[in-house]
Structure 1
Amino acid sequence: MTKVFMGVRLQRLREERSLTQAALARALGLSPSYLNQIERNQRPLTVPILLRIGSVLGVDPQIFSEHDSASLVADVRDVMGELPGSEGASLAELKMLVENMPGIARAILQLQRRYRMAAERAESLEAQFDSSDGNQASLTPSSDEEVRDYLNRRQNYIGELDEAAERIGANGADALRERLQRLHGVTVLAEPGGDVLLRKRRYDPQQHVLWVAASMNAGQQAFQMAALLGQLDHAQLIELLVDQAALSSEAARKGARLALSNYYAGAVLMPYAAFLQAAESSAYDIDLLAHQFGVGFEAVCHRLSTMQRPGASGLPVFFVRVDRAGNVSKRQSATAFHFSRVGGTCPLWIVYEAFSQPGRILRQIARMPDGSTHLWIARQVSTGPARFTAPSKSFALALGCDISQAHRLVYAKGLDLHDPSAATAIGTGCKVCERRDCPQRAFPSILPVSRMA
């Protein structure tokens, strides 16, 4: 474990509980001068002290984890790169800000997010007034980023929902249908009509009927049943989690409720302990796991990104879903890997090659500008039935892990994981990429010249 200097964060916890330095020192079995030095970052937080802090203050020691700090540092670094006159902020200064005052760092991100939304609204209004056809532009901002930030702060693991899902012991379509009927009086019916590409389920609370798209397979229908079951069985728990997330809008709260109910559905169909054992024994063979648990390739990738139970964690992975235009619709990381919020994604990334080879699992060893190297796999998937007038939805999924953990994946077979020349040099997006000699650069970097590689 590296030395952790987060004295301001500890001071904030103490002040929130109206404790003096002397009172907290007594409770922790430390001298007041020693605690004072910790709060002033003159001494690090050791593991024994972290455990005592967790017990005395009633907090999870994970709040001092560097996982969240690394992601925040990268996010704030991107934001600072967009602002004029911020070239003087060094990486060390940003790290000190994030580790000691994460609330201030998140406030900076929130301000940047609101500034970006305001700029987009202004552009929409300008386009509206300049438009000759009089069509109004949409001014509704997306709240996805806020929900993603909350899940990433939890390392994509929601233990309360995971443990509740394991307890029900019913993960097949028939068992879930029976549970909905017995506990909530809900009848599940297949809906043959409607736009099934846009609506996978429709619940009528007055008639207690859940309509699921008839075009979905049994596993997909079971997922929709389990998601509704989470909303009905654990409404209070989900609402408590949404409150704790401290989201800024009702749209974000609604998105969080949906994300949490879908999380519960995945945990029901792939119970944590059984899924982890199967994943480890199969060397994380996604197709094999999909067949064993009766779910799709994407559902397995999503579940793998949530396996962070304390004391029983799985392989730390990152998971991304993109469309052909480069829009990122899912982005989850169980590690400190950072997905840039600006500048798009890198065209040299293997995820885009997947569209030209549908059905195949592609592999790539990729090196980031900071020297970190990862093993990525990518595959194109389609959802929904295709019709002449309405093609199916098509996405590319990418799952990656740090190269030091790649040997645990079946997809590493035959690759030289230790050959530096085998890695493809990629970045987090043109506008925040430090590589000056990239042959695929689409936009000039917004980073200062001094930080360009």
Structure 2
Amino acid sequence: MPAAAPAKPAARLGAKIRLLRRQEGLSQVQLAESLGISPSYLNLIEGNKRPLTAPLLIRLAQQFHLDLKALAPEQDQRLAEDLLEAFGDPLFEPLGLQAQEVRELVQNSPQLARGVFELYRAYQHAQEGLESLSARLSDGQGFDPEATRLPSEEVNDFIQQAMNHFPDLETAAESLWAEGHLNPDALYPGLVAAVEARGLKVRVHRAADGPGLLRRYDPERRLISLSELLPLRSRAFQLAHQLALLDHSALLDALADHPLLRMSSSRALARVALANYFAGAVLMPYERFLQATKAERYDIEILGRRFQASFEQVCHRLTTLRRPGAEGVPFHFLRIDIAGNISKSFSATGIRFARFSGACPRWNAHAAFLTPGLVRTQVSVMPDGRKYFCIARTIQKDTGGYRGQHATQALGLGCDMGHAKELVYADGVRLDQPPVPIGVTCRLCERTDCEQRAFPPLQQALKVEENLRRTSFYARIESGA
């Protein structure tokens, strides 16, 4: 029987309460009185010597007009891990920082920790900007400082904070099914009829009429044009996406009006991501899809055929099943290209992905390129002891003719080991086998016996022994070895 995952450390919220109180200009006596507790008890809470009960949490949320998510320990954990990766930069190596020091900074001064992380991210962007400026000046071109900032980073943070679940978009998708009397066996014709009911037309254009163009909406002609290269499932997805933009533009704007989306380009990209979410919810209605996932034990191929969706669309939809009281298996998801660049990622399992460096090469998503089109399974363990069951498979964009570029990418989907038996892919896999040790990125991983290590770990200074050669150049050399 596999060992249970280690328990998460208890939340230490005292520093957050103290910070909120000071921001509001309240004394301990004043806040304690409004909460109905003694000042001495509040003092113990702020010193992390007494736990916060559920009723107190609710009263605090009312006092400070807070969403309880603002007090979630998972956010502290993500921030601590982001900071650890930032401090993994060789720039900080002389400081000899320890992981516990970083975690204490997050616990005691979360706003300061966030500021340090944002400062490092700005430094990274500035470095990239200097390189870009140098290249552009050498070519006699101009330079736009905003070009070095990545809207995709802000959108990823926005989606992660929402746990990739947007109830208002789910409701909107359900309304479209009800009002349009959509038929799951003829979804594309039903969506065409829904579009035409709005006074619009749909046509399919030849590939030569718009090379590389998959969908275009002409508001003057009230015409939606779809490429003949799109299979029916993709045409349905694109029509649903366009309906989101037409029918729910105000909702998309309201959702994208978020503090994490600071640039106009980030908000524009978020609108696209949210419209894609709506389209996925239309193709795979929540309740019917959730029932199917459980009945078919998350068999992605069967789900794709039943709901006329691609392998990637099904994987995306599986990560959105977070409705309270009707949840699916919590998954993490990533998409990488053959160079190892992560173009999409989301985590509902607690696993995290590198922000500033390459992903661990031991993840099975990389190995998926060796067996195109086949599902690979992996039982893995992170340095914190948490075990995961993961699958990975390559995908190829099914648009383009003989001369088209058929880009190949790999998708990774994983869950905590406690949910592995709910997946058909775990059948026949020895879940008690020794797991593959994986990490986030080399600088944060303490395993020195990894043959694929590319950089020394943050916690260990590089020690060069010129008379010894081992499988890993960065292996720890024990005395007497």
TM over 0.5: same fold? Answer: yes
Letter in 2 for 1:217: P
Specify the structure having the higher radius of gyration (Cα): 2
Note closer, same or farther for the CA distance 1:39–1:310 as it changes in structure 2 (3 Å cut): farther
Q: More deviation in 4-13 or 223-232?
A: 4-13
In the alignment, structure 1 residue 432 sits paired with structure 2 residue 444: yes
Helix, strand or coil at the partner of 2:261: coil
- Which aligned pairs between 1:166-315 and structure 2 lie closer than 5 A? 166-169=174-177, 172-183=187-198, 185-193=199-207, 198-315=212-329
Helix, strand or coil at the partner of 1:244: coil
**Shift of the alpha carbon at 1:52?**
4.1
**Shift of the alpha carbon at 1:332?**
1.0
Q: Deviations over 1:237-295 (max 9, x none)?
A: 22122112442211111111111111111122222222222112221111111112111
Helix, strand or coil at the partner of 1:321: strand
Q: Which of residues 373, 376, 385 in structure 1 aligns to 2:387? A: 373
- Match of residue 414 from structure 1: 428
In the alignment, structure 1 residue 42 sits paired with structure 2 residue 49: yes
**Shift of the alpha carbon at 1:208?**
2.0
8 Å Cα contact 1:68/1:152 also seen in 2: no
Helix, strand or coil at the partner of 2:415: strand
Letter in 2 for 1:435: R
Q: Deviations over 1:315-348 (max 9, x none)?
A: 1110011111111111111132110113312222
8 Å Cα contact 1:204/1:210 also seen in 2: yes
Query: Distance between the aligned counterparts of 1:225 and 1:32, measured in 2?
Result: 59
Q: More deviation in 159-168 or 259-268?
A: 159-168
**Shift of the alpha carbon at 1:386?**
4.2
Q: Which of residues 116, 119, 124 in structure 1 aligns to 2:124? A: 116
In the alignment, structure 1 residue 68 sits paired with structure 2 residue 80: no
**Shift of the alpha carbon at 1:311?**
2.7
Letter in 2 for 1:428: V
**Shift of the alpha carbon at 1:121?**
1.7
Helix, strand or coil at the partner of 1:164: helix
Query: Distance between the aligned counterparts of 2:172 and 2:14, measured in 1?
Result: 35
TM-score in terms of structure 1 length: 0.88
Note closer, same or farther for the CA distance 1:7–1:137 as it changes in structure 2 (3 Å cut): same
In the alignment, structure 1 residue 404 sits paired with structure 2 residue 392: no
Helix, strand or coil at the partner of 1:84: helix
**Shift of the alpha carbon at 1:176?**
2.4
Helix, strand or coil at the partner of 1:364: strand
Q: Which of residues 358, 378, 401 in structure 2 aligns to 1:344? A: 358
**Shift of the alpha carbon at 1:313?**
2.0
8 Å Cα contact 2:98/2:459 also seen in 1: no
**Shift of the alpha carbon at 1:26?**
5.1
Query: Distance between the aligned counterparts of 1:86 and 1:164, measured in 2?
Result: 54
Structure 2: 5+ residue runs without aligned partners? 1-7, 463-473, 477-481
Helix, strand or coil at the partner of 2:92: coil
Q: More deviation in 152-161 or 322-331?
A: 152-161
- Match of residue 337 from structure 2: 323
**Shift of the alpha carbon at 1:74?**
0.9
**Shift of the alpha carbon at 1:87?**
4.6
Q: Deviations over 1:104-124 (max 9, x none)?
A: 433333322221121112112
Query: Distance between the aligned counterparts of 1:198 and 1:39, measured in 2?
Result: 58
8 Å Cα contact 1:69/1:98 also seen in 2: yes
Q: How big is the alpha-carbon RMSD for the aligned residues of Structure 1 and Structure 2?
A: 2.9
In the alignment, structure 1 residue 143 sits paired with structure 2 residue 124: no
Letter in 2 for 1:384: D
Helix, strand or coil at the partner of 1:338: coil
Q: Which of residues 153, 165, 170 in structure 2 aligns to 1:162? A: 170
**Shift of the alpha carbon at 1:236?**
1.8
**Shift of the alpha carbon at 1:198?**
4.4
Letter in 2 for 1:430: C
Q: Deviations over 1:95-147 (max 9, x none)?
A: 3443455444333333222211211121123334556xx67899723221111
Note closer, same or farther for the CA distance 1:430–1:191 as it changes in structure 2 (3 Å cut): farther
Letter in 1 for 2:405: P
Structure 1: 5+ residue runs without aligned partners? none
8 Å Cα contact 1:197/1:392 also seen in 2: no
Helix, strand or coil at the partner of 1:38: helix
8 Å Cα contact 1:434/1:452 also seen in 2: no
Note closer, same or farther for the CA distance 1:343–1:332 as it changes in structure 2 (3 Å cut): same
**Shift of the alpha carbon at 1:303?**
1.0
Note closer, same or farther for the CA distance 1:238–1:23 as it changes in structure 2 (3 Å cut): farther
Helix, strand or coil at the partner of 2:362: coil
Query: Distance between the aligned counterparts of 1:11 and 1:197, measured in 2?
Result: 59
Helix, strand or coil at the partner of 2:408: strand
8 Å Cα contact 2:85/2:443 also seen in 1: no
8 Å Cα contact 2:380/2:388 also seen in 1: yes
Note closer, same or farther for the CA distance 1:138–1:2 as it changes in structure 2 (3 Å cut): closer
TM-score in terms of structure 2 length: 0.84
**Shift of the alpha carbon at 1:215?**
1.2
Query: Distance between the aligned counterparts of 2:111 and 2:246, measured in 1?
Result: 33
Helix, strand or coil at the partner of 2:411: strand
Note closer, same or farther for the CA distance 1:210–1:371 as it changes in structure 2 (3 Å cut): same
Q: More deviation in 304-313 or 440-449?
A: 440-449
8 Å Cα contact 1:306/1:334 also seen in 2: no
8 Å Cα contact 1:197/1:385 also seen in 2: no
**Shift of the alpha carbon at 1:194?**
5.4
Q: More deviation in 35-44 or 289-298?
A: 35-44
Query: What's the % identity of the aligned pairs?
Result: 38
Q: Deviations over 1:140-199 (max 9, x none)?
A: 23221111011111112122222332233256222322223324x332222223587844
Note closer, same or farther for the CA distance 1:29–1:218 as it changes in structure 2 (3 Å cut): farther
Helix, strand or coil at the partner of 2:257: helix
**Shift of the alpha carbon at 1:446?**
4.7
